[in-house]
């Protein structure tokens, strides 16, 4: 099959996938509401819209990405041509999480299909309604030998990762990510890991108060805080701590009303275990001296509804568990600082985060914090939206992940970037340097060394 025919097949597959998403959109939205109490507007913008953009960038670029990528030829290799060809890795596995179960399952599927692979998809067991719809929509357009969907819990994931796939794409927690990587190592299988960590928000006194509160509150309480790149804690310059906490409180009320816990725009915690874990972190911090701020006064509605109100913790210290463990819930710890070195010391207590946010109007401070920290991604005077641009690779560093996803980065991750060299003419310089080494050969070698 020619490359053109292969690309036409891939193009057809991604069109089929997008068509299935559109035809099952209402079912996906309903399932997301059942599993996570996710509002329709949030589902459309955070789950469906990113898939549309991924589809469009794959469709627009698939011929270029799949074709020969010409590279320049050094003088010493004159007479040869060089290029890279992205070939399918083969059979790939996508294991997706529960917090954005539609987007984080189907977005990498676009890239895996665009690069010509056979795919096995393992959606999360924690969002069963959504996983069932995903299985239904995929099976409506693909046979099992193109894309197969396997449902189940940790034992199913463990069995899958032990198999000899050609690439594994996993999105989830760091500890599970380590198990995935360990299993993949047995088969020398490459992995893309999108994990998590404690993503800090640094705020100095020059930051615009209203703009900071607007964006941080949105990013923190989106999906009830169950976002891998959500602001996990805030480091605010001491002089504006009180004003910032008040501005955040006001913004919570603006978004969710006087009684945020009752808002239909507030999502639910995914299950009882996570619900109890988040409440436990809050109560343990309060017991050690943290002050809890709950707009509306009601923190939670009970395990049957699994709703926790957007809240803030002040007077936190780094020895609290809530400052050591990724929260993944709607509570924002706030710590104050007086020197920039304090900020670095606090951030350094945890592994490199998936994201880091800086709110400041001073270039000197922004540069200081970016140059002295490490993170998978960074946003300045913004939060979360760095993941939304498929033109820009997204991923972590160290404990927060490895590899990059989105657009071309995903396409390349699912491809074997095979290098080619071809002798295009009978003459090239290289044989002039072959033994026996005479004066002429030495002279040519010196010329190449200097000018090649």
The catalytic residue positions are 194, 228
For the chain, how far is it from start to end, CA to CA, in angstroms?
39
Cβ 105 vs Cβ 93: under 8 Å: no
What CA–CA distance (Å, rounded) separates 132 from 128?
6
Q: Answer whether 295's CB lies under 8 Å from 247's CB.
A: no
Closest by Cα among 236, 381, 384, 375 to 312: 236
Q: Are strands 191-194 and 167-171 parallel, antiparallel or unpaired?
A: parallel
Q: Which residues contact 101 (CB under 8 A, 6 or more apart)?
A: 32, 35, 47, 123, 124, 127, 130, 131, 134
HSE on the CB side for 320, CA within 13 Å? 25
Spatial strand order in the sheet of 291-293: 291-293, 311-314, 331-337, 233-237, 200-203, 355-359, 377-380
Report the alpha-carbon angle 201-179-233, nearest 5: 10
β partners of residue 236: 203, 336
Cα 363 to Cα 207, 241, 366, 381, 385: the distances in Å are 11, 21, 5, 12, 21
Query: Residue 51 and residue 59: Cα distance in Å, rounded?
Result: 12
DSSP 8-state assignment for residue 300: B
Helix (H) or strand (E) holding 261: none
Gap between the Cα atoms of 168 and 172, Å rounded:
13
* Phi then psi dihedrals of residue 83, to 5 deg: -155, 165
**DSSP code of 394?**
B
Residue with tokens 């020969």: 68
How far is the C-alpha of 390 from the C-alpha of 410, rounded, in Å? 9
Q: How many CA within 13 A on the CB side of residue 46?
A: 19
């Amino acid at each position: 099959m020619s490359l053109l025919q292969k690309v036409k097949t891939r193009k057809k597959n991604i069109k089929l996938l997008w068509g299935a998403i559109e035809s099952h959109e209402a079912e996906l939205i309903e399932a997301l509401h059942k599993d996570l109490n996710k509002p329709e507007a949030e589902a459309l913008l955070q789950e469906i819209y990113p898939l549309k953009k991924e589809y469009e960038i794959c469709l627009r670029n698939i011929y270029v990405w799949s074709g020969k990528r010409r590279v320049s030829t050094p003088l010493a290799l004159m007479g040869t041509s060089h290029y890279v060809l992205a070939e399918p890795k083969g059979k790939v596995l996508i294991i997706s999480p529960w917090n954005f179960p539609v987007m984080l399952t189907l977005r990498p599927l676009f890239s895996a299909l665009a690069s010509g692979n056979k795919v096995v998809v393992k959606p999360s067991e924690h969002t069963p309604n959504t996983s069932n719809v995903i299985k239904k929509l995929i099976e409506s357009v693909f046979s099992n030998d193109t894309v197969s969907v396997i449902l189940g819990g940790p034992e199913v994931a463990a069995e899958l990762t032990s198999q000899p796939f050609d690439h594994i794409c996993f999105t989830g927690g760091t500890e599970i990510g380590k198990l995935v990587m360990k299993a993949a190592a047995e088969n020398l299988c490459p992995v893309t890991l999108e994990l998590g960590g404690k993503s800090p928000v640094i705020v100095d006194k020059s930051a615009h108060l209203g703009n900071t509160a607007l964006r941080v509150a949105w990013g923190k309480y989106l999906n009830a805080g169950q976002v891998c790149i959500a602001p996990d804690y805030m480091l605010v310059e001491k002089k504006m701590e009180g004003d910032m906490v008040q501005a955040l409180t006001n913004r919570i009320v603006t978004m969710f009303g006087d009684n945020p816990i009752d808002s239909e725009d507030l999502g639910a915690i995914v299950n009882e275990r996570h619900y109890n874990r988040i409440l436990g972190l809050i109560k343990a911090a309060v017991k050690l001296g943290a002050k809890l701020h709950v707009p509306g006064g009601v923190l939670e509605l009970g395990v049957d509804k699994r709703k926790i109100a957007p809240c803030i913790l002040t007077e936190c210290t780094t020895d609290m568990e809530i400052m050591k463990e990724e929260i993944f819930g709607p509570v924002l710890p706030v710590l104050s600082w007086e020197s920039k070195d304090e900020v670095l010391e606090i951030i350094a207590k945890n592994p490199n985060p998936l994201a880091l946010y800086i709110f400041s109007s001073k270039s000197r401070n922004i540069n200081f914090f970016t140059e002295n920290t490490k993170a998978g991604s960074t946003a300045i005077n913004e939060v979360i939206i760095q993941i939304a641009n498929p033109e820009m690779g997204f991923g972590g560093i160290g404990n927060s992940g490895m590899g990059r996803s989105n657009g071309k980065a995903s396409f390349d991750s699912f491809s074997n970037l095979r290098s080619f060299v071809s002798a295009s003419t009978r003459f090239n310089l290289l044989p002039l340097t072959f033994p026996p080494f005479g004066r002429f050969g030495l002279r040519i070698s010196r010329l190449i060394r200097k000018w090649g």
